[in-house]
Amino acid sequence: MQKVKLMNRTLNNFFCALPFTYIYVDALNEYKVCSDARFSSKINTYDVSILEYFNSDYMNEMRFDMLRGYLSEKIRGTCIRCIEREELGLWARREKNIDYNIIKKFKSGKKLEPTSNTIKLKFGNLCNLKCLTCGPYSSSRWAHERNDVQEMTLYKELNDEISSASREKYGELYQESFDYEFDQDLSRLSYNFNDKFYDELKILLKKLRNIIISGGEPFLNDDFYDFLKWLIDNKYSNKLNMLVLSNMSKIPKNYKAFYDKFKSFKILISIDATYKKDEYIRRGINFKERDKNIKQIINDFDIGFYATMSMLNVGYQSDLISYCSQYKKYPSFFNVLVEPFYLQINNLPDEIIETYIKRHQNHRLFNSPMKNVDHFILGIKYLKKYDVIHRTCLLDEWPEFEKYYD
């Protein structure tokens, strides 16, 4: 297969193959270029089918701009997470390799079909946790609790400061994308699984080998189980590798009926720290109960552990490594938080970094030239509001932040 590797940062440092090969639907039932895309297309699955979207003017405009090396506002806003991760020297989702025949087909005006062997789906935002590194877009609990009068009042006091810092860092359109999501009814989102979806999915399944399911929390969602049943009943499952991102607060329902029907079925468990620290970051999780759940399914599923790295857990990586070792697993630390920006690792003050290094807790972002301690302080202000709302205290678990908390 002829490939073109568009990695020359001088000519084109933002080309990505995903708009030409990949399909993703977010928790709002709207198509996005990928799961890391910030801007939504605002094209809904109820109005436009998968293949109609894939060949829409929205997608074609982005492809043309990428090929001619034009960093439009739409591309910058859509791809800002990858752009920032690469500026920080981190892993990014951007794919730089593409079959050149796809480019030729596009330039000739022919319609494209997704050619990726992987698809990622969200089954809405139904979730029982309220993680600090998440938000109402991916958690129905977040969406429900943000409408509480006390919570709205407290966060409103910080809203202008956060919005101003966001505009300064990313630009006006970026903040507008947050405002757009905020105006949506996020209390309970679900996916549009109609007949046309399944008809077009059959076309994609000719090439698909991997399905990634995120949330929300998939194991709480009946649509997820219906989807598994459809794959099994239509004899697709034995050719597919299924990867489910789960908080494992609940045991999968009737899992004996599906766990061995796929080529592989892996549960990637989201965990950010151990015990009280994890319960603070991932509000609603009971650390010991989750551990019991993991032990119950360990013999039937392949499991893994992954953390979202932020200023709250970067100084405690060894604790998580030690916990995961009982399962003969090593946690993945590749997913480094860029949003919300005020909880980023690279903004930690030098004296806190020195404390962590003395404890042999290291991270490449400790030496980042993109440090902004003002953003760290903004994060502390946010966490103080969080503590008032939830009757918690950050300093119980992070005494090293006391100087900035008081």
User: How far is it, in rounded angstroms, from Cα 387 to Cα 398?
Assistant: 13
Residue 384 in tokens: 């103080």
160-169: long-range contacts, CB 8 A cutoff, minimum separation 24: 161/378, 161/381, 162/340, 162/342, 162/378, 162/382, 165/341, 165/342, 165/374, 165/375, 165/378, 166/341, 169/341, 169/375
* Coil, helix or strand at residue 371: coil
**What angle is formed at CA 83 by the lines to CA 81 and CA 86, rounded to 5 degrees?**
105
Q: How many CB atoms lie within 10 A of CB 178?
A: 18
Buried b (16+ CB within 10 A) or exposed e, 114-148: bbbebbbbbbbbbbbbbbbbbbbbbbbbbbebbee
pLDDT of residue 160: 81
Give the pLDDT confidence score for residue 371 in this predicted structure. 94
Burial call 215-241: b when 16+ CB within 10 Å, e when fewer: bbbbbbbebbbebbeebbeeebbeebb
Q: DSSP string of 1-57?
A: --EEE---TTT-SS--SHHHH--EE-TTSBEESSTT-SS----BTTTS-HHHHHTSH
- Sequence-ordered list of residues with C-beta below 8 angstroms from that of 49, at least 6 positions apart, any chain: 196, 197, 200
Q: Which amino acid belongs to residue 376? A: F
Cis peptide before 340 (omega within 30 of 0): yes
Distance CA 264, CA 210 (A): 9
Where residue 29 falls (left for φ over 0; alpha for ψ -120 to 50; beta otherwise) is left
- Name the pairing type of β-strands 31-32 and 24-25: antiparallel
Other Cβ atoms less than 10 A from the Cβ of 318: the count is 11
Strands 24-25 and 118-122 come out as parallel
Residue-level pLDDT at 159: 80
In the structure, how many helices (H) and strands (E) does the chain have?
Answer: 17, 12
DSSP for 176-205? HHHHHHHTS--SS------HHHHHHHHHHT
Domains in the chain, CATH or no CATH each: 3-116 (no CATH), 117-147+187-337 (3.20.20.70)
Rg (CA), the chain: 21
Tens digits of pLDDT across the chain (406 residues): 344 443 333 235 779 999 999 988 887 778 889 988 888 788 888 888 889 999 999 999 999 999 988 888 888 888 988 988 888 888 888 998 899 999 999 999 999 999 999 999 888 889 999 999 888 878 888 888 877 767 777 677 788 888 888 878 777 766 666 666 666 665 555 666 778 888 888 989 999 999 999 988 999 999 899 999 999 999 999 999 999 999 999 999 999 999 999 999 999 999 999 999 999 999 999 999 999 999 999 999 999 999 999 999 999 999 999 999 999 999 999 899 988 999 999 999 999 999 999 999 999 999 999 999 999 999 999 999 999 989 999 999 999 999 999 8
CB of 28 closer than 8 Å to CB of 182? no
Which pLDDT score is estimated for 215?
Answer: 83
What's the Cα-to-Cα distance from 249 to each of 275, 328, 336, rounded to whole Å? 14, 21, 23
- How far apart, in whole angstroms, are the C-alpha atoms of residue 67 and residue 156? 42
